Chain A
């Protein structure tokens, strides 16, 4: 495969992961953690990074072992691989970001059941060489993390009027200064903080994505076709 083809394929992968086939906005996979932990940007970023790490690790491993795994037992093998990486990430978070570890709670081990991860293992990593699988994991994970962070920011701004509240839990004590107080609410808008706010925010984000897609398509359809050939319909 030439360099040109490879770079084209990587471009397609990036566009798919971040936009066209975004795990959260288009495939709607992994909604449980997405909706549950996006109360603040910090929580969202923490879970997004954890998912990203697991996704890259599991994609590379699955891709490396793909020729030795019998087709009949591939799903259990994928799950074991994913569970291994989740355990690794969980122990790391327990060791280095304990505050965030307690804040995210059950949703870290639940990354194992995130369909986006096993979906990529099955659909892409088990059919492609490891470097492409790694890049696929990276873009898909980044797309997922991006949506998480956006939703977290939306809910945190509307709900509490802050951004990066509790960032020190994830990044160490220096990050306490990152906290931005945008609006001072006398009463927080609880709806945005509670689960229904996540559903409404998610719905609005999907709708905005669809609007952008539609406008692009319309623009593309209106663009003049070069050297349009007029078809002859009458025989003269």
Chain B
């Protein structure tokens, strides 16, 4: 009787890239549903177009590189990239924005660096930055969330806005917004909470005054807080499922929160506190879904802590003193750039190597 003898490790998690990516997609569902509720059907169109384009681009790139196509499409990594990009950009941005962004993410950021596992930057965030730098008008046109009287455009109007940049009656996004603001609501409607605070403070108002606006509710931006909490819930399932470890989210959120608390203590009238920072923009999405990308993040546990704390600090610095409304994408890219150095200095010591311990 003979036994099959395998070399160590003998116990392994039967988890393929395919499973991991499917879990990530599942965990994004609550956040996407919250976005759908608050920002309308646009989110769905962005997702569908982004995923289709990503799959075609992935297949095309693999074909050109003479690599097997089917397993790579089956591992869903392109779908995750597309989904992350789609939920990051304004839901009613015209179709060509997400098209260009997805093509850039898959073809340039992923495959030009060698495909899955080789990209030094997070493809979704690099594409987001590329879009933000190239099309600042479209990329900052966030409509107000559907609370306190706002109503996101219906399915039909969203479809028209998405494909023609006009509603069926011929209104542009800007005109739709003006109609809303004339109905007795805030004129500053086309701004995210972070953007709004920044503009108002630069106009000489205090933080408390700028937060009187209808786009704020009990502890952060109305709508935005729920989107962020939904992504937090999805992220926690990833933690429970051990798809990600706690190091990156905890380090990122605590470093950003600490900075925000210190800033708010130093200048309570001008700098928003940790509630705003943690529950606005893409903070939770970044902490659980973007910074945790296993390819572009640091590898060792100590390295992950340093990497994520650095991203949190950079988010705070860029949000506070930078020119762009949200800082997540820039911070993640800068963090990705630091990964080789971080990995170099946080490499765990293997047994029997290095200086003997006292």
Contacts and interface: CB of A to CB of B under 8 A. Distances in A.
Interface stretch (A18-26, A65-73, A161-169, A189-197): A189-197
Contacts of A189: 100, 134-135
Contact of A190 (B108, B112, B134): B134
A187 interface: yes
B138 A187 contact: yes
A178 interface: no
B13 interface: no
B133 interface: yes
A194 B136 CA distance: 13
Interface residues of A, number: 10
A191 B127 CA distance: 11
B137 interface: yes
B138 A191 contact: no
Contacts of B112: 204, 207
Contact of A200 (B100, B108, B135): B108
A104 to B, nearest CB: 24
Given A200-B108, A207-B112, A191 B137 contact: no
B141 interface: no
Contacts of B136: 190
B138 A190 contact: no
Contacts of B134: 189-192
B130 interface: yes
A207 B64 CA distance: 14
A191 B133 CA distance: 6
A187 B133 contact: no
A204 B113 CA distance: 12
A190 B133 contact: yes
Contacts of A207: 112
Interface of A: 187, 189-192, 194, 196, 200, 204, 207
Given A189-B134, A191-B133, A196-B133, 13 more contacts: A187-B135, A187-B137, A187-B138, A190-B133, A190-B134, A190-B135, A190-B136, A191-B130, A191-B134, A192-B134, A194-B133, A204-B112, A207-B112
Interface of B: 100, 108, 112, 130, 133-138
19 contacts: A187-B135, A187-B137, A187-B138, A189-B100, A189-B134, A189-B135, A190-B133, A190-B134, A190-B135, A190-B136, A191-B130, A191-B133, A191-B134, A192-B134, A194-B133, A196-B133, A200-B108, A204-B112, A207-B112
**Shortest 4 CB-CB contacts between residues of A and residues of B:** A191-B134, A190-B134, A189-B134, A191-B133
